Structure 1
Amino acid sequence: MNNARAGHTASVLPNGEVLIAGGNDNVSYLSSTELYNPATGNWTFTGSMKYARTQFTATVFENGKVFVSGGYYNDNWLNSAELYDPLTRIWTLANSMSFERHQHEASLLSNRTVLVTGGANSLGDLDSAELYDLLTGNWFSTIAMHYRRAVHTATVLLNGQVLVAGGVQSGSFLKSAELYDLSTGMWTMTGNMNFERWQHTATVLPNGKVLVAGGLGYYYSNGYLINAELYDPLTGTWTSTASMNYPRGKHTASILKNGNVLVTGGYNGINFTNTAELYDFVTETWTIADSMFDGRYWHRASVLTSDIVLVTGGARFRDYLDGAELY
Protein backbone atom coordinates (compact mmCIF):
# COMPACT_ATOMS: atom_id res chain seq x y z
CA MET A 1 0.00 0.00 0.00
CA ASN A 2 1.04 3.65 -0.18
CA ASN A 3 0.71 3.92 3.62
CA ALA A 4 1.56 1.51 6.38
CA ARG A 5 -1.58 1.19 8.48
CA ALA A 6 -3.36 -0.82 11.15
CA GLY A 7 -6.81 -0.33 12.60
CA HIS A 8 -8.03 0.68 9.15
CA THR A 9 -11.08 -0.52 7.21
CA ALA A 10 -11.25 -2.43 3.92
CA SER A 11 -14.42 -2.30 1.80
CA VAL A 12 -15.04 -4.25 -1.41
CA LEU A 13 -16.84 -1.96 -3.85
CA PRO A 14 -19.39 -3.14 -6.44
CA ASN A 15 -16.81 -2.64 -9.23
CA GLY A 16 -14.45 -5.09 -7.47
CA GLU A 17 -12.00 -2.49 -6.18
CA VAL A 18 -11.10 -2.41 -2.48
CA LEU A 19 -11.24 0.87 -0.55
CA ILE A 20 -8.74 1.10 2.32
CA ALA A 21 -9.40 3.94 4.75
CA GLY A 22 -7.77 5.49 7.79
CA GLY A 23 -5.98 3.67 10.60
CA ASN A 24 -2.69 4.67 12.13
CA ASP A 25 0.98 4.03 11.37
CA ASN A 26 2.56 4.36 14.85
CA VAL A 27 3.42 7.99 14.06
CA SER A 28 0.08 9.56 13.22
CA TYR A 29 -3.58 8.87 12.67
CA LEU A 30 -4.53 8.69 9.02
CA SER A 31 -7.25 10.34 6.96
CA SER A 32 -5.78 9.02 3.71
CA THR A 33 -7.61 6.40 1.66
CA GLU A 34 -6.48 4.27 -1.27
CA LEU A 35 -7.94 1.88 -3.82
CA TYR A 36 -6.72 -1.57 -4.83
CA ASN A 37 -7.45 -2.57 -8.41
CA PRO A 38 -7.46 -6.39 -8.64
CA ALA A 39 -7.14 -6.25 -12.44
CA THR A 40 -3.79 -4.44 -12.27
CA GLY A 41 -2.66 -5.24 -8.74
CA ASN A 42 -1.94 -1.54 -8.20
CA TRP A 43 -2.78 0.89 -5.40
CA THR A 44 -3.85 4.49 -6.05
CA PHE A 45 -4.69 7.24 -3.59
CA THR A 46 -8.24 8.49 -3.63
CA GLY A 47 -9.95 11.33 -1.75
CA SER A 48 -9.03 11.69 1.92
CA MET A 49 -11.59 11.52 4.71
CA LYS A 50 -12.51 14.73 6.48
CA TYR A 51 -11.21 13.27 9.75
CA ALA A 52 -8.29 11.03 10.56
CA ARG A 53 -9.56 8.01 12.49
CA THR A 54 -8.75 4.50 13.63
CA GLN A 55 -10.85 1.66 15.09
CA PHE A 56 -13.96 2.84 13.26
CA THR A 57 -16.52 1.02 11.09
CA ALA A 58 -17.16 1.01 7.34
CA THR A 59 -20.35 -0.17 5.61
CA VAL A 60 -20.93 -0.56 1.86
CA PHE A 61 -24.42 0.37 0.66
CA GLU A 62 -26.13 -1.13 -2.39
CA ASN A 63 -25.47 2.07 -4.34
CA GLY A 64 -21.73 1.57 -3.81
CA LYS A 65 -21.27 4.40 -1.32
CA VAL A 66 -19.16 3.62 1.76
CA PHE A 67 -20.33 4.88 5.14
CA VAL A 68 -17.83 5.26 7.99
CA SER A 69 -18.64 6.19 11.59
CA GLY A 70 -16.84 6.94 14.81
CA GLY A 71 -13.30 6.00 15.70
CA TYR A 72 -10.45 7.47 17.68
CA TYR A 73 -8.00 10.30 16.98
CA ASN A 74 -5.33 11.89 19.21
CA ASP A 75 -7.02 11.14 22.55
CA ASN A 76 -10.41 12.06 21.08
CA TRP A 77 -13.34 9.75 20.51
CA LEU A 78 -15.33 10.64 17.40
CA ASN A 79 -19.06 10.77 16.71
CA SER A 80 -18.58 12.03 13.15
CA ALA A 81 -19.61 10.05 10.08
CA GLU A 82 -18.84 10.43 6.37
CA LEU A 83 -19.78 8.96 3.01
CA TYR A 84 -17.46 8.01 0.13
CA ASP A 85 -18.86 8.21 -3.40
CA PRO A 86 -16.95 5.86 -5.74
CA LEU A 87 -18.15 7.83 -8.78
CA THR A 88 -16.65 11.14 -7.67
CA ARG A 89 -14.06 9.60 -5.30
CA ILE A 90 -14.95 12.30 -2.77
CA TRP A 91 -15.83 12.05 0.93
CA THR A 92 -18.68 14.17 2.32
CA LEU A 93 -19.67 14.62 5.95
CA ALA A 94 -22.82 12.86 7.11
CA ASN A 95 -24.81 13.65 10.23
CA SER A 96 -23.00 12.75 13.43
CA MET A 97 -23.95 9.99 15.85
CA SER A 98 -25.47 10.80 19.22
CA PHE A 99 -22.49 9.23 21.00
CA GLU A 100 -18.76 9.32 20.43
CA ARG A 101 -17.52 5.73 20.09
CA HIS A 102 -14.72 3.52 18.85
CA GLN A 103 -14.28 -0.28 18.92
CA HIS A 104 -17.98 -0.49 18.09
CA GLU A 105 -19.79 -2.51 15.40
CA ALA A 106 -21.96 -1.50 12.44
CA SER A 107 -24.46 -3.83 10.73
CA LEU A 108 -26.29 -3.18 7.46
CA LEU A 109 -29.96 -4.13 7.88
CA SER A 110 -32.49 -5.15 5.24
CA ASN A 111 -34.25 -1.75 5.30
CA ARG A 112 -31.03 0.06 4.27
CA THR A 113 -30.29 1.30 7.76
CA VAL A 114 -27.06 0.79 9.67
CA LEU A 115 -27.26 -0.42 13.27
CA VAL A 116 -24.33 0.85 15.36
CA THR A 117 -23.78 -0.93 18.67
CA GLY A 118 -21.66 -0.38 21.74
CA GLY A 119 -18.04 0.66 21.67
CA ALA A 120 -16.19 2.87 24.12
CA ASN A 121 -15.49 6.54 24.76
CA SER A 122 -14.18 8.70 27.59
CA LEU A 123 -17.11 7.59 29.78
CA GLY A 124 -16.32 3.89 29.38
CA ASP A 125 -17.95 1.03 27.51
CA LEU A 126 -21.37 1.70 25.98
CA ASP A 127 -24.68 -0.14 25.85
CA SER A 128 -26.25 2.36 23.46
CA ALA A 129 -27.33 1.57 19.91
CA GLU A 130 -28.45 3.85 17.10
CA LEU A 131 -29.63 3.60 13.50
CA TYR A 132 -28.48 5.54 10.44
CA ASP A 133 -31.02 5.85 7.63
CA LEU A 134 -29.39 6.14 4.21
CA LEU A 135 -32.51 7.64 2.60
CA THR A 136 -32.91 10.52 5.06
CA GLY A 137 -29.34 10.81 6.31
CA ASN A 138 -30.62 10.93 9.89
CA TRP A 139 -29.76 8.99 13.04
CA PHE A 140 -32.40 7.45 15.27
CA SER A 141 -31.89 6.08 18.76
CA THR A 142 -33.06 2.57 19.45
CA ILE A 143 -33.34 0.53 22.64
CA ALA A 144 -30.03 0.03 24.45
CA MET A 145 -28.43 -3.39 24.70
CA HIS A 146 -28.66 -5.35 27.93
CA TYR A 147 -24.88 -5.15 28.40
CA ARG A 148 -22.30 -2.45 27.87
CA ARG A 149 -19.71 -3.89 25.49
CA ALA A 150 -16.81 -2.98 23.19
CA VAL A 151 -14.65 -5.09 20.87
CA HIS A 152 -17.61 -7.43 20.48
CA THR A 153 -19.02 -8.94 17.29
CA ALA A 154 -22.29 -8.06 15.57
CA THR A 155 -23.52 -10.51 12.93
CA VAL A 156 -26.56 -10.20 10.67
CA LEU A 157 -28.31 -13.58 10.66
CA LEU A 158 -30.12 -15.06 7.67
CA ASN A 159 -33.45 -14.18 9.36
CA GLY A 160 -32.43 -10.50 9.51
CA GLN A 161 -31.81 -10.36 13.26
CA VAL A 162 -28.45 -9.12 14.57
CA LEU A 163 -26.49 -11.32 16.95
CA VAL A 164 -24.18 -9.41 19.30
CA ALA A 165 -21.76 -11.60 21.23
CA GLY A 166 -18.98 -11.20 23.76
CA GLY A 167 -16.77 -8.16 24.13
CA VAL A 168 -15.36 -6.37 27.14
CA GLN A 169 -17.20 -4.40 29.83
CA SER A 170 -15.17 -2.36 32.31
CA GLY A 171 -12.26 -4.78 32.06
CA SER A 172 -14.40 -7.92 32.36
CA PHE A 173 -14.75 -10.30 29.43
CA LEU A 174 -18.28 -11.23 28.38
CA LYS A 175 -19.80 -14.48 27.17
CA SER A 176 -23.32 -13.07 26.95
CA ALA A 177 -25.11 -12.72 23.61
CA GLU A 178 -28.23 -10.83 22.58
CA LEU A 179 -30.42 -10.38 19.51
CA TYR A 180 -31.72 -7.21 17.87
CA ASP A 181 -35.04 -7.50 16.03
CA LEU A 182 -35.51 -4.82 13.37
CA SER A 183 -39.28 -5.28 13.28
CA THR A 184 -39.69 -4.47 16.98
CA GLY A 185 -36.55 -2.45 17.70
CA MET A 186 -36.05 -4.60 20.79
CA TRP A 187 -33.11 -6.54 22.22
CA THR A 188 -33.62 -10.01 23.73
CA MET A 189 -31.07 -12.15 25.49
CA THR A 190 -30.12 -15.44 23.88
CA GLY A 191 -27.89 -18.30 25.03
CA ASN A 192 -24.46 -17.48 26.46
CA MET A 193 -21.32 -18.57 24.67
CA ASN A 194 -19.37 -21.32 26.38
CA PHE A 195 -16.39 -18.99 26.88
CA GLU A 196 -15.91 -15.33 27.67
CA ARG A 197 -14.11 -13.70 24.76
CA TRP A 198 -13.28 -10.47 22.94
CA GLN A 199 -11.04 -9.77 19.91
CA HIS A 200 -12.76 -12.81 18.39
CA THR A 201 -14.43 -13.28 15.00
CA ALA A 202 -17.99 -14.27 14.11
CA THR A 203 -18.98 -15.59 10.68
CA VAL A 204 -22.38 -16.62 9.29
CA LEU A 205 -22.13 -20.03 7.61
CA PRO A 206 -24.26 -21.18 4.64
CA ASN A 207 -26.39 -23.28 7.02
CA GLY A 208 -27.30 -20.18 9.03
CA LYS A 209 -25.16 -21.03 12.05
CA VAL A 210 -22.57 -18.55 13.33
CA LEU A 211 -18.95 -19.64 13.82
CA VAL A 212 -17.17 -17.79 16.64
CA ALA A 213 -13.43 -18.42 16.85
CA GLY A 214 -10.57 -17.43 19.12
CA GLY A 215 -10.22 -14.12 20.90
CA LEU A 216 -8.92 -13.15 24.30
CA GLY A 217 -10.43 -14.98 27.26
CA TYR A 218 -9.42 -16.68 30.49
CA TYR A 219 -8.85 -20.29 29.60
CA TYR A 220 -5.78 -20.73 27.43
CA SER A 221 -2.11 -19.82 27.21
CA ASN A 222 -1.72 -16.07 27.86
CA GLY A 223 -5.51 -15.77 27.69
CA TYR A 224 -5.69 -16.21 23.92
CA LEU A 225 -8.20 -18.86 22.88
CA ILE A 226 -7.82 -21.78 20.51
CA ASN A 227 -11.42 -22.96 20.77
CA ALA A 228 -14.40 -22.25 18.53
CA GLU A 229 -18.16 -22.59 18.92
CA LEU A 230 -21.33 -22.49 16.86
CA TYR A 231 -24.54 -20.52 17.48
CA ASP A 232 -27.76 -22.07 16.17
CA PRO A 233 -30.44 -19.38 15.59
CA LEU A 234 -33.17 -22.04 15.58
CA THR A 235 -32.44 -23.13 19.15
CA GLY A 236 -30.67 -20.03 20.50
CA THR A 237 -27.88 -22.22 21.87
CA TRP A 238 -24.12 -22.52 21.48
CA THR A 239 -22.26 -25.80 20.93
CA SER A 240 -18.54 -26.46 20.81
CA THR A 241 -16.94 -27.30 17.49
CA ALA A 242 -13.39 -28.37 16.69
CA SER A 243 -10.67 -26.09 18.01
CA MET A 244 -8.32 -24.18 15.73
CA ASN A 245 -4.75 -25.36 15.37
CA TYR A 246 -3.41 -22.14 16.92
CA PRO A 247 -4.70 -19.73 19.59
CA ARG A 248 -5.24 -16.20 18.28
CA GLY A 249 -7.01 -12.89 18.79
CA LYS A 250 -7.40 -9.79 16.57
CA HIS A 251 -7.27 -12.13 13.59
CA THR A 252 -9.55 -12.11 10.54
CA ALA A 253 -12.15 -14.61 9.33
CA SER A 254 -13.34 -14.63 5.71
CA ILE A 255 -16.06 -16.80 4.24
CA LEU A 256 -15.20 -18.23 0.82
CA LYS A 257 -17.57 -19.13 -2.00
CA ASN A 258 -17.54 -22.81 -0.98
CA GLY A 259 -18.70 -21.85 2.52
CA ASN A 260 -15.41 -22.56 4.22
CA VAL A 261 -13.89 -19.93 6.50
CA LEU A 262 -10.29 -18.70 6.16
CA VAL A 263 -8.72 -17.43 9.40
CA THR A 264 -5.50 -15.42 9.17
CA GLY A 265 -2.92 -13.99 11.53
CA GLY A 266 -3.57 -12.52 14.93
CA TYR A 267 -1.71 -12.43 18.23
CA ASN A 268 -1.28 -15.35 20.63
CA GLY A 269 0.14 -13.56 23.64
CA ILE A 270 3.73 -14.17 22.53
CA ASN A 271 3.99 -13.73 18.78
CA PHE A 272 2.21 -12.04 15.92
CA THR A 273 1.46 -15.06 13.82
CA ASN A 274 1.52 -15.55 10.05
CA THR A 275 -0.42 -18.81 10.26
CA ALA A 276 -3.71 -19.39 8.44
CA GLU A 277 -6.27 -22.16 8.63
CA LEU A 278 -9.55 -23.24 7.03
CA TYR A 279 -12.79 -24.28 8.74
CA ASP A 280 -14.95 -26.75 6.81
CA PHE A 281 -18.55 -26.10 7.87
CA VAL A 282 -19.70 -29.53 6.61
CA THR A 283 -17.19 -31.65 8.54
CA GLU A 284 -16.74 -29.01 11.30
CA THR A 285 -12.97 -29.43 11.19
CA TRP A 286 -9.96 -27.14 10.79
CA THR A 287 -7.02 -27.70 8.44
CA ILE A 288 -3.82 -25.69 8.29
CA ALA A 289 -3.53 -23.50 5.18
CA ASP A 290 -0.46 -21.92 3.61
CA SER A 291 1.12 -19.32 5.90
CA MET A 292 1.24 -15.62 5.09
CA PHE A 293 4.60 -13.99 4.38
CA ASP A 294 4.26 -11.66 7.37
CA GLY A 295 2.94 -12.16 10.87
CA ARG A 296 0.31 -9.52 11.55
CA TYR A 297 -2.69 -8.58 13.68
CA TRP A 298 -5.20 -5.72 13.54
CA HIS A 299 -5.13 -6.22 9.78
CA ARG A 300 -7.98 -6.63 7.27
CA ALA A 301 -8.94 -9.43 4.89
CA SER A 302 -11.23 -8.84 1.90
CA VAL A 303 -12.77 -11.52 -0.31
CA LEU A 304 -12.53 -10.32 -3.90
CA THR A 305 -15.06 -11.19 -6.58
CA SER A 306 -12.62 -13.80 -7.88
CA ASP A 307 -12.70 -15.55 -4.44
CA ILE A 308 -9.13 -14.43 -3.85
CA VAL A 309 -8.54 -13.02 -0.36
CA LEU A 310 -6.63 -9.75 -0.06
CA VAL A 311 -4.89 -9.20 3.31
CA THR A 312 -3.78 -5.65 4.06
CA GLY A 313 -1.65 -3.90 6.65
CA GLY A 314 -1.72 -4.65 10.34
CA ALA A 315 0.93 -4.41 13.02
CA ARG A 316 3.75 -6.50 14.43
CA PHE A 317 5.08 -5.15 17.70
CA ARG A 318 5.91 -1.49 16.85
CA ASP A 319 6.23 -2.26 13.16
CA TYR A 320 3.19 -1.11 11.19
CA LEU A 321 2.87 -2.81 7.81
CA ASP A 322 2.21 -1.47 4.32
CA GLY A 323 2.42 -4.97 2.87
CA ALA A 324 -0.46 -6.73 1.15
CA GLU A 325 -0.75 -10.35 0.08
CA LEU A 326 -3.19 -12.56 -1.78
CA TYR A 327 -4.49 -16.04 -0.89
Structure 2
Amino acid sequence: HTATLLNSSKVLVTAGDTGSSPTAACEIYDPSTSLWTITANMTTTLEYHTATLLNSGKVLVTGGFTQAPSTASCELYDPSTSQWNTTASMAIPHYSHTATLLNSGKVLVTGGYGISPSTATCEIFDPSTSLWTTTANMTTARYSHTATLLNSGEVLVTGGYTGSSAIATCEKYYM
Protein backbone atom coordinates (compact mmCIF):
# COMPACT_ATOMS: atom_id res chain seq x y z
CA HIS A 1 0.00 0.00 0.00
CA THR A 2 0.96 3.64 0.01
CA ALA A 3 0.31 6.40 2.55
CA THR A 4 0.20 10.00 1.29
CA LEU A 5 -0.09 13.11 3.44
CA LEU A 6 -2.82 15.32 1.94
CA ASN A 7 -2.99 19.12 2.12
CA SER A 8 -5.77 18.71 4.71
CA SER A 9 -3.24 16.98 7.04
CA LYS A 10 -5.18 13.72 6.59
CA VAL A 11 -3.48 10.62 5.17
CA LEU A 12 -4.71 8.72 2.10
CA VAL A 13 -3.87 5.00 2.24
CA THR A 14 -4.24 3.27 -1.13
CA ALA A 15 -4.60 -0.35 -2.19
CA GLY A 16 -1.93 -2.94 -1.31
CA ASP A 17 -1.85 -6.65 -0.57
CA THR A 18 -4.56 -8.41 1.45
CA GLY A 19 -2.28 -11.37 2.10
CA SER A 20 -3.63 -13.32 -0.85
CA SER A 21 -4.20 -10.75 -3.59
CA PRO A 22 -4.01 -7.03 -4.43
CA THR A 23 -6.88 -4.77 -3.35
CA ALA A 24 -8.40 -1.50 -4.60
CA ALA A 25 -9.60 -0.44 -1.14
CA CYS A 26 -8.65 3.02 0.15
CA GLU A 27 -9.01 4.76 3.49
CA ILE A 28 -8.38 8.20 4.98
CA TYR A 29 -6.76 8.63 8.39
CA ASP A 30 -7.46 11.81 10.35
CA PRO A 31 -4.65 12.34 12.88
CA SER A 32 -6.67 15.01 14.73
CA THR A 33 -9.36 12.46 15.66
CA SER A 34 -7.38 9.20 15.25
CA LEU A 35 -10.27 7.92 13.09
CA TRP A 36 -10.23 6.02 9.80
CA THR A 37 -12.80 6.64 7.05
CA ILE A 38 -13.39 4.46 4.02
CA THR A 39 -13.16 6.41 0.76
CA ALA A 40 -13.80 5.41 -2.85
CA ASN A 41 -11.99 2.34 -4.17
CA MET A 42 -9.46 2.72 -6.93
CA THR A 43 -10.55 1.44 -10.34
CA THR A 44 -7.72 -1.15 -10.35
CA THR A 45 -6.50 -3.57 -7.69
CA LEU A 46 -2.84 -2.78 -7.00
CA GLU A 47 0.25 -3.42 -4.94
CA TYR A 48 3.83 -2.15 -5.39
CA HIS A 49 2.50 1.11 -6.85
CA THR A 50 3.38 4.71 -5.99
CA ALA A 51 1.24 7.63 -4.83
CA THR A 52 2.43 11.21 -5.27
CA LEU A 53 0.78 14.38 -3.95
CA LEU A 54 0.58 16.89 -6.80
CA ASN A 55 0.72 20.67 -6.37
CA SER A 56 -3.04 20.75 -7.13
CA GLY A 57 -3.72 18.64 -4.03
CA LYS A 58 -4.70 15.61 -6.12
CA VAL A 59 -2.84 12.30 -5.73
CA LEU A 60 -1.31 10.52 -8.74
CA VAL A 61 -1.08 6.72 -8.43
CA THR A 62 1.24 5.10 -10.95
CA GLY A 63 1.79 1.53 -12.06
CA GLY A 64 1.84 -1.36 -9.68
CA PHE A 65 1.21 -5.05 -9.79
CA THR A 66 -2.26 -6.42 -10.46
CA GLN A 67 -3.41 -10.01 -10.11
CA ALA A 68 -1.15 -11.18 -12.94
CA PRO A 69 1.00 -8.63 -14.78
CA SER A 70 2.41 -5.28 -13.86
CA THR A 71 0.48 -2.31 -15.20
CA ALA A 72 1.13 1.02 -16.91
CA SER A 73 -2.22 2.44 -15.79
CA CYS A 74 -2.51 5.57 -13.65
CA GLU A 75 -5.24 7.12 -11.56
CA LEU A 76 -5.86 10.50 -9.93
CA TYR A 77 -7.58 10.89 -6.55
CA ASP A 78 -9.32 14.19 -5.86
CA PRO A 79 -9.69 14.74 -2.10
CA SER A 80 -12.30 17.47 -2.67
CA THR A 81 -14.68 14.96 -4.29
CA SER A 82 -13.30 11.70 -2.82
CA GLN A 83 -13.29 10.27 -6.34
CA TRP A 84 -10.80 8.37 -8.50
CA ASN A 85 -10.40 9.00 -12.23
CA THR A 86 -8.14 7.22 -14.67
CA THR A 87 -5.57 9.32 -16.49
CA ALA A 88 -3.13 8.60 -19.30
CA SER A 89 -1.11 5.40 -18.95
CA MET A 90 2.67 5.29 -18.89
CA ALA A 91 4.55 4.00 -21.94
CA ILE A 92 5.49 0.74 -20.19
CA PRO A 93 4.39 -1.04 -17.01
CA HIS A 94 6.27 -0.21 -13.80
CA TYR A 95 6.09 -1.68 -10.31
CA SER A 96 8.51 -1.41 -7.39
CA HIS A 97 9.46 1.89 -9.04
CA THR A 98 9.71 5.45 -7.74
CA ALA A 99 7.68 8.57 -8.48
CA THR A 100 9.17 11.92 -7.50
CA LEU A 101 7.44 15.31 -7.60
CA LEU A 102 9.82 17.71 -9.35
CA ASN A 103 10.14 21.45 -8.68
CA SER A 104 8.29 22.03 -11.98
CA GLY A 105 5.23 20.20 -10.61
CA LYS A 106 5.83 17.29 -12.99
CA VAL A 107 6.38 13.72 -11.73
CA LEU A 108 9.43 11.62 -12.62
CA VAL A 109 8.94 7.83 -12.61
CA THR A 110 12.15 5.79 -12.54
CA GLY A 111 12.83 2.11 -13.08
CA GLY A 112 11.04 -0.72 -11.36
CA TYR A 113 9.94 -3.97 -12.85
CA GLY A 114 8.69 -3.45 -16.36
CA ILE A 115 8.16 -5.90 -19.15
CA SER A 116 11.47 -7.58 -18.28
CA PRO A 117 12.77 -8.23 -14.74
CA SER A 118 14.01 -4.68 -14.18
CA THR A 119 13.99 -1.56 -16.29
CA ALA A 120 16.05 1.61 -16.66
CA THR A 121 13.13 3.41 -18.31
CA CYS A 122 12.14 6.84 -16.97
CA GLU A 123 8.96 8.77 -17.73
CA ILE A 124 7.60 12.20 -16.81
CA PHE A 125 3.94 13.03 -16.09
CA ASP A 126 2.78 16.60 -16.71
CA PRO A 127 -0.33 17.33 -14.60
CA SER A 128 -1.19 20.38 -16.74
CA THR A 129 -1.69 18.16 -19.82
CA SER A 130 -2.24 14.77 -18.13
CA LEU A 131 0.30 13.31 -20.55
CA TRP A 132 3.41 11.15 -20.15
CA THR A 133 6.68 11.55 -22.02
CA THR A 134 9.64 9.23 -21.92
CA THR A 135 12.96 10.74 -20.94
CA ALA A 136 16.56 9.54 -20.76
CA ASN A 137 16.98 6.07 -19.28
CA MET A 138 18.95 5.51 -16.11
CA THR A 139 22.43 4.03 -16.53
CA THR A 140 21.45 0.97 -14.49
CA ALA A 141 18.15 -0.91 -14.59
CA ARG A 142 16.85 -1.17 -11.02
CA TYR A 143 13.80 -1.79 -8.83
CA SER A 144 13.03 -1.33 -5.11
CA HIS A 145 15.32 1.71 -5.15
CA THR A 146 14.88 5.24 -3.82
CA ALA A 147 14.68 8.57 -5.62
CA THR A 148 15.19 11.80 -3.68
CA LEU A 149 14.62 15.34 -4.94
CA LEU A 150 17.69 17.41 -4.02
CA ASN A 151 17.64 21.15 -3.30
CA SER A 152 19.38 21.66 -6.66
CA GLY A 153 16.36 20.17 -8.46
CA GLU A 154 18.29 17.03 -9.39
CA VAL A 155 16.95 13.60 -8.43
CA LEU A 156 19.33 11.20 -6.67
CA VAL A 157 18.49 7.56 -7.43
CA THR A 158 20.13 5.07 -5.06
CA GLY A 159 20.43 1.34 -4.49
CA GLY A 160 17.81 -1.25 -5.22
CA TYR A 161 18.13 -4.48 -7.13
CA THR A 162 18.94 -5.47 -10.67
CA GLY A 163 17.85 -9.01 -11.39
CA SER A 164 18.25 -10.88 -8.09
CA SER A 165 21.30 -8.92 -6.89
CA ALA A 166 21.29 -5.89 -4.61
CA ILE A 167 23.19 -2.90 -5.99
CA ALA A 168 24.93 -0.07 -4.15
CA THR A 169 25.25 2.33 -7.08
CA CYS A 170 23.64 5.72 -7.43
CA GLU A 171 22.99 8.16 -10.24
CA LYS A 172 21.53 11.63 -10.67
CA TYR A 173 18.74 12.75 -12.96
CA TYR A 174 19.26 16.31 -14.22
CA MET A 175 16.15 18.29 -15.10
Give the equivalent residue in structure 1 for 2:131. 237
Give the equivalent residue in structure 2 for 1:268. 162
By how many angstroms is 1:159 displaced? 0.8
Alpha-carbon distance between aligned partners in 2 of 1:245 and 1:267, rounded to the nearest angstrom: 13
Amino acid at match of 1:247: A
Amino acid at match of 1:130: E
The answer as to 2:36 corresponding to 1:152 is: no
Amino acid at match of 1:261: V
Alpha-carbon distance between aligned partners in 1 of 2:67 and 2:85, rounded to the nearest angstrom: 22
CA radius of gyration, larger in: 1
Query: Aligned to 2:160, what secondary structure does the other structure show?
Result: coil
Deviations 1:89-126 (A, max 9, x none): xxxxxxxxxxxxxxx10000011100000000234101
Alpha-carbon distance between aligned partners in 2 of 1:145 and 1:258, rounded to the nearest angstrom: 35
Identity of aligned residues (%): 43
Task: Give unmatched runs, 5+ long, in structure 2.
Answer: none
Within a 5 Å distance, the mapping from 1:21-100 to structure 2 comes to: none
Match of 1:176 among 73, 86, 91: 73
Give the equivalent residue in structure 1 for 2:27. 130
Alpha-carbon distance between aligned partners in 1 of 2:12 and 2:168, rounded to the nearest angstrom: 33
Give the equivalent residue in structure 1 for 2:87. 190
Give the equivalent residue in structure 2 for 1:35. none
Query: Aligned to 1:129, what secondary structure does the other structure show?
Result: strand
Alpha-carbon distance between aligned partners in 2 of 1:132 and 1:271, rounded to the nearest angstrom: 36
Match of 1:248 among 129, 142, 159: 142
Higher relative contact order (CA 8 A, sep 6+): 2
By how many angstroms is 1:135 displaced? 1.2
TM-score, scaled to structure 2: 0.97
The number of aligned residues is: 175
Query: Aligned to 2:100, what secondary structure does the other structure show?
Result: strand
Query: Aligned to 1:127, what secondary structure does the other structure show?
Result: strand
Structure 1 residue ranges (4+ consecutive) displaced by more than 2 angstroms after TM superposition: none
Kindly report the root-mean-square deviation, in angstroms, between the aligned alpha carbons of the 2 structures.
0.9
Match of 2:152 among 238, 258, 261: 258
By how many angstroms is 1:270 displaced? 4.5
Alpha-carbon distance between aligned partners in 2 of 1:274 and 1:136, rounded to the nearest angstrom: 42
The answer as to 2:107 corresponding to 1:210 is: yes
Amino acid at match of 2:65: V
Alpha-carbon distance between aligned partners in 2 of 1:268 and 1:159, rounded to the nearest angstrom: 34
Alpha-carbon distance between aligned partners in 2 of 1:131 and 1:270, rounded to the nearest angstrom: 35
